[in-house]
Amino acid sequence: MTETTTTTAKRSRAGSVVLVDRMCEKRVTTRTKIYDRRVPGLYVSITTSGAASFSYRFTDPAAGKQRTVLLGVYNPETFRVDDARSKVYGLKALDPAALVEQLRQTKAVKGKHGKTVAEIIELRIAWMQGLERKSDGEMRPRVESWSNVASHLNRFVEPRLGRRIASDVTRQDVAELSNDILAGKFGVPSISNARHMRRAVSGLYTWAGEAGRDYVPETCRPCYRLPKLPKEHARKRVLDENEIRTLWHGLDRTDLPWDRRTRLAIKFELVSMLRSRELLGAHRDELFDLKGDNARFDVPAKRVKKRRVIEQPLSSLAVEIITEALTSDAQQFVFESPAIKGQPIHRTALATALRGRPDKELPGLCKVLGLKPFTPHDLRRTAATLAGELGYSEAAIAKCLDHAVTKDDGEKINRVTGVYVHSKRMQQKRNVLDGIAAEIKRIIAEPMQAVDQDELPLAA
């Protein structure tokens, strides 16, 4: 890396500058050193990433060589220019031999635990992205949800703590960061973001402290016994019959700003009870017996939250939606992207369509149809509620949602039994999904009613 030096230790006093804090915060295109006129030997080294570290250069009288002691990383709140000067004054008071020994120890610590939080975040993300063979035989990233973890580390942790030496980060630092997220200093206040940030940091330090890496001391646990976060309120948004009717018929309008396949996918989430990520990647090869009595959609493990294959029966209403979405024999993905031919709709497309794109002046479907906001996941909850009202058992509904079954007809299932019983309960699931389809057909067949905004349940 090229390096620019403002002055050297042996240059005259007139050739140096009086080091001030704002100089440590300047942006540079090459690594730059700025020496202090007030304290000979003290300088700050600024990298292109913006990290600034103080060092003290002196002459070892025994060896006749120049040595350098790392003093610390600049932090406008905890370690500034005056702090670095004070540290140099203390070092100058030491015996030269003791100072050399301290330098030796500092170098050992720097090599072992001297990485910044930003450096460890970069290493962690690269490791998570590394490919490994999964149980289904495919090569995929070690941590398949790495992008979500990386998002929380890059959005919240790196801007605040990135320049700090990782081993210097304390519980107080993470607690303050949590409080700032809750206070809305990073955008909209969010308990969920604070919780995910803490989980990402905990995973980061656990990984960094493992044998073989040892980027931080084993005792460095900045997420240990943090103050509890406020409780997140359970989402309870369920569409009532009139809202289902309004949504279903509204999605058939031809004047909407969102493409037809995206709107069909919204319908499909309601009738199939699958998650958006699971259904949007639907491929022809994953559909079976569409023209028979046992239509089925097999979702591969790589798209399923719990990484297990889902064999989901398809009701006649679900088959109708798939048939309309497949407009040609050449189309491989059921919900093909309107922007990228041969690729499925993006996994966030349904949420975006319902919410809208203010940056592109695209109104959301909820607003266009006069519905109070809801998310794609609320459609799963709505379908489950319909099934419950129709009298289906919680166990059968849980199977349709791909949830763990803990009770069957009110009886608690032993955990060991759950391990040994691998039945997909296809007939139970088919009965539930056929029942939901019949109920939706009944609802949409009734006359439309005006939507009373005051009586609609609030969005979660």
**Measured distance CA(356)–CA(258) in Å, rounded:** 10
Question: Same domain, yes or no, for 104 and 127?
Answer: no
Q: How many residues does the chain have?
A: 460
Residue 218 lies in a domain: no
Mean pLDDT of 151-178: 93
**pLDDT in the model for residue 261:** 96
| Pair 170, 30 in one domain | no
Do both 40 and 98 map to the same domain? Answer: yes
Closest Cα to residue 150, out of 194, 187, 189, 196?
196
Using pLDDT thresholds of 50, 70 and 90, give the confidence band for residue 435: very high
Positive or negative torsion for Cα 103, 106, 107, 108: positive
Q: How far apart are CA 195 and CA 189, in angstroms?
A: 12
How many domains does the structure of the chain reveal? 3
Does 321 have pLDDT greater than 90? yes
DSSP-derived 3-state class of residue 453: coil
The predicted structure's pLDDT at residue 333: 97
How much is the pLDDT for 92? 84
Span 254-270, pLDDT tens digits: 999 899 999 999 999 99
Q: Is 188 exposed, middle or buried (0-12, 13-18, 19+ CB in 10 A)?
A: exposed
* CA dist., res. 419 & res. 408, Å (int): 15
Q: Work out the average pLDDT over 413-439.
A: 74
Q: What is the pLDDT of residue 10?
A: 45
111-120, 171-180, 217-226: range with highest mean pLDDT: 171-180
Q: What is the rounded distance in angstroms from the CA atom of residue 154 to the CA atom of residue 148?
A: 10
The closest alpha carbon to 33, from 48, 21, 20, 43, belongs to: 43
What value does the mean pLDDT take over residues 351-361? 90
250 shares a domain with 144: no
Surface-to-core class of residue 289, CB atoms within 10 Å of its CB (0-12 exposed, 13-18 middle, 19+ buried): exposed
Phi and psi dihedrals of 365, rounded to 5?
-65, -35
User: Could you tell me if 162 and 262 lie in one domain?
Assistant: no
pLDDT at 125 over 90: yes
Same domain for 254 and 390? Answer: yes
Write down the pLDDT at residue 47.
87
Confidence at 246, pLDDT banded by 50, 70, 90? very high
CA 429 to chain centre: 32
CATH assignment at residue 329: 1.10.443.10
Residues 177 and 200 in one domain: yes
Three-state SS letters, 257-291: CCCHHHHHHHHHHHHHCCCHHHHHCCEHHHEECCC
pLDDT at 100 over 80: no
Q: Which amino acid is at 42?
A: L
Q: Which of 50-59, 82-91, 234-243, 377-386 has the highest mean pLDDT?
A: 377-386
- Judgement on whether residues 295 and 420 belong to the same structural domain of the protein: yes
Q: What pLDDT, on a 0 to 100 scale, did the predictor assign at position 424?
A: 57
Mean pLDDT over the full length of the chain: 87
Structure tokens that stand for 20 in this block: 């001030």
Cα–Cα distance for residue pair 174/289, rounded to 1 Å: 53
Q: What whole-number percentage of the chain has pLDDT above 90? A: 61
Whether residues 155 and 196 fall in one domain: yes
- Looking at the fold, whether 128 and 194 belong to one and the same domain comes out as yes
Is residue 68 domain-shared with residue 81, that is, in the same domain?
yes
CA distance 178 to 201: 11
Domain membership flag for residue 9: yes
For residue 35, give its domain range: 3-113
What's the pLDDT at 152? Answer: 97
Q: How confident is the model at residue 60 (pLDDT cuts 50, 70, 90)?
A: confident
Q: What percent of the chain has pLDDT over 70?
A: 87
| Residue 227 placed within a domain | no
In a domain, 214, yes or no: no
Q: Is the pLDDT of residue 457 over 90?
A: no
Q: Residue 12: is its pLDDT beyond 50?
A: no
Asked whether the predicted pLDDT for residue 460 surpasses 50, the reply is: no
In-domain check, residue 458: no
Q: Looking at the domain assignment, is residue 87 inside a domain? A: yes
